[in-house]
Chains A and B, each alone.
Chain A
Amino acid sequence: MSRRASGLRAWLWQRLSAIYMVLYLVVAGGALLLWPPVSFDDWRASVATPLASVTTALFFGSLLMHAWVGARDVLIDYVRPFAPRLLLFVLLGLMLIGSGLWILKILYFLQMDG
């Protein structure tokens, strides 16, 4: 059964990303509380492990996906004329893609230097 990206799929991604973000925050927050890093280098080493990098990258991926669906909902509701809506969609998309690349860059350099 094919489902259109704008309908059920968007709604489903929004919910799945929310669940992942909650799980990540609980687990990552819990780990920080239970095993607090003793120094900056210690903290850097712990976030540069492959497991932490991948789960953190997935967290930010979920955040961007969630933000896209949510902001898109707001634009669909309130911005009716085509031209301003398209412009805002493009700006939103660029901002989210830019944020994603920036996050990847940070995670990549953490790996390299760590």
Chain B
Amino acid sequence: MDMRFSIYRYNPETDAEPCMQDYQLSGITSGMMLLDALKRLKAQDETLAFRSSCGEGVCGSDGMNINGRNGLACITPLATLKQPVALRPLPGMPVIRDLIVDLDNFWRQYREVQPWLVREDPIPEVELRQSPQDRDRLDGLYECILCACCSASCPSYWWNPERFLGPAALLQASRFIEDSRDQATEARLDRLDDAYKVFRCHTIMNCADVCPKGLNPSQAIGNIRQRMLKQFV
């Protein structure tokens, strides 16, 4: 089977502006993923640039805009896509080249939520134990692979990327706020309380819609607000 693709091409060093380039690929078999097609297209045209690594939806490297919707190329079956398949870089992020975007700001916002356990007490010689119920509270939070599909689909993040932390970072904030082993919950909530970091979220829910892992950052943000409220009253 043949398939047609229309791919965003841009090399800031040589191109005045981006353009969409058409590609045709033959020999598509059932069960092939979009990443397989991209790799074969790259064999045809080695100037085509995109990121990929594990190829099975674990590393989160190949997030891109596929027919207008953010997703991972490696777990998107070609059979589900309308032709020509329009591929664009993640929206709202600076393009380094073709489908590769600059994620510096995304990682800066991730660091901002201190995504590690903070302990006031001395670290014990043995592991920090958790009850099964406490462990359950991390479900739906820890599975995030930081592919940036959610933040790149969030209008609030497009408008205020430097000051609104974005759904991915806030999901991680919630992951550590909910962790029974963390001892900085209050400080974490205090740091998040301003007009921008959390409260630019208007529950548009694009994040939950596109998450390739089926997570719900919108709900995590709601939980952060509830924790703030409980601490306040």
A interface residue numbers (CB < 8 A to B): 1, 3-4, 6-8, 10-12, 73, 76-78
Contacts and interface: CB of A to CB of B under 8 A. Distances in A.
6 contacts: A1-B186, A7-B195, A7-B198, A7-B228, A76-B160, A77-B159
Contacts of B228: 3, 7-8
What size tier do the contact residues of chain B reach?
A: 20 to 34
Nearest to B159: A77
B225 A11 contact: yes
Given A1-B186, A6-B195, A8-B228, 5 more contacts: A1-B190, A3-B193, A8-B199, A11-B199, A11-B225
Contact of B194 (A1, A4, A73): A4
Contacts of A12: 229, 232
Interface in B110-166: 156, 159-160
A6 B192 CA distance: 11
A79 to B, nearest CB: 10
Nearest to B195: A6
Given A8-B229, A8-B232, A78 B194 contact: no
Given A8-B225, A8-B228, A12-B229, A77 B200 contact: yes
Interface in B184-233: 186, 190, 192-200, 202, 225, 228-229, 231-232
